[in-house]
Amino acid sequence: MIYFDKVSKVYSSTSTALEEVSFAIEAKEFISLVGQSGAGKTTLLKLLLSEEKPTSGRVFFESIDVHSLAKKDLVLLRRKIGTVFEDIRLLPNKTAYENIAFAMEAAGKTPEEIERDVPQVLELVNLLGRSWHFPRELSRGECQRVAIARAIINQPDVIIADEPTGNLDPLNTWEIINILKKINELGTTVILATHNKSIIDSLGRRVVTLEKGRIVRDDKEGRYIV
């Protein structure tokens, strides 16, 4: 479904983020990318979203070279990928409900669909009572749950979660991970980048380990070993 073909990303002569990385992700997989800060996890995800362009190599999503897409088609691609960021990135001037509705509006959904789906997904992340709060009025954990709700609202094929539990307390961390697991069970591919050992060990799913821009391990039922 997703295929990285000898992808390199060089920011400057002294900073190489990725070096000839190749691997494939199957549909409905729950894959974890691990590695220390600066190992290239975030760069890899940015390349998939076409937020950055690779220095060499190609990234395929459903056999389409992501970086050959025109702007208009890129918009369509991004609607198939839901994203959750470490720094959450909610729109600060919109309420929880509006943040989620925005993704639906952007995708051209009808008002009826929005009124039907948004409360449902808010219930899934257990935030129905906080719909009309602004991000500044919510805790970090709550914000991250809103962000996940926003990522899944358009039923994407893939969810990318880049350190979604960074800066969260253990209780919120597990809540986030459980939501991601639930989403994966419903048939969505999940790509999780993290350096949280206990999460990886408890998941018991495929783990790809990055070190200094290279893949050093790829285990089917991996544990966190760095």
Partner 1 sequence: MIWIKAKRILKAGFINFWRNGWVSLATVLIMVITLFTIGSLIFSRAILGSMVAQIQDKVDISVYFKTDSQKQDILALKDEISKLGEVKNVEYVSAEQALENFKERHKENAMITQSLEELNANPLGATLNIKTKEPSQYEAVAKFLNAESQAPTGSIIDKINYLQNKKIIDRLTKIIDSAKNLGSILSIILVIISIIVTFNTIRLTIYISREEIGVMRLVGASSRFVSGPFIVEGIMYGVISSIITMVLFYPLTTWLGPMTENFFSGVNLFKYYISNFGQIFLLLLFIGATLGALSSFIAVRRYLKV
- Return residues touching partner 1 (CB under 8 A): 49, 51, 71-72, 75-76, 78-79, 83, 89-93, 102-103, 105-108, 110-111, 150, 154
- Of 34 and 48, nearer to partner 1 (C-beta) is 48
* Residue placing its CB nearer to partner 1 in the complex, 46 or 217: 46
CB of 201 to partner 1, least distance (A): 30
Nearest distance from residue 43's CB to partner 1, in Å?
A: 15
CB of 136 to partner 1, least distance (A): 12
Q: Which two tokens stand for residue 139?
A: 């805790």
Shortest gap between Cβ of 77 and partner 1 (angstroms)? 8
Beta-strand pair 15-25/2-12: antiparallel
| Residue 50: CB minimum distance to partner 1, A | 9
| Choice between 53 and 197, CB closer to partner 1 | 53
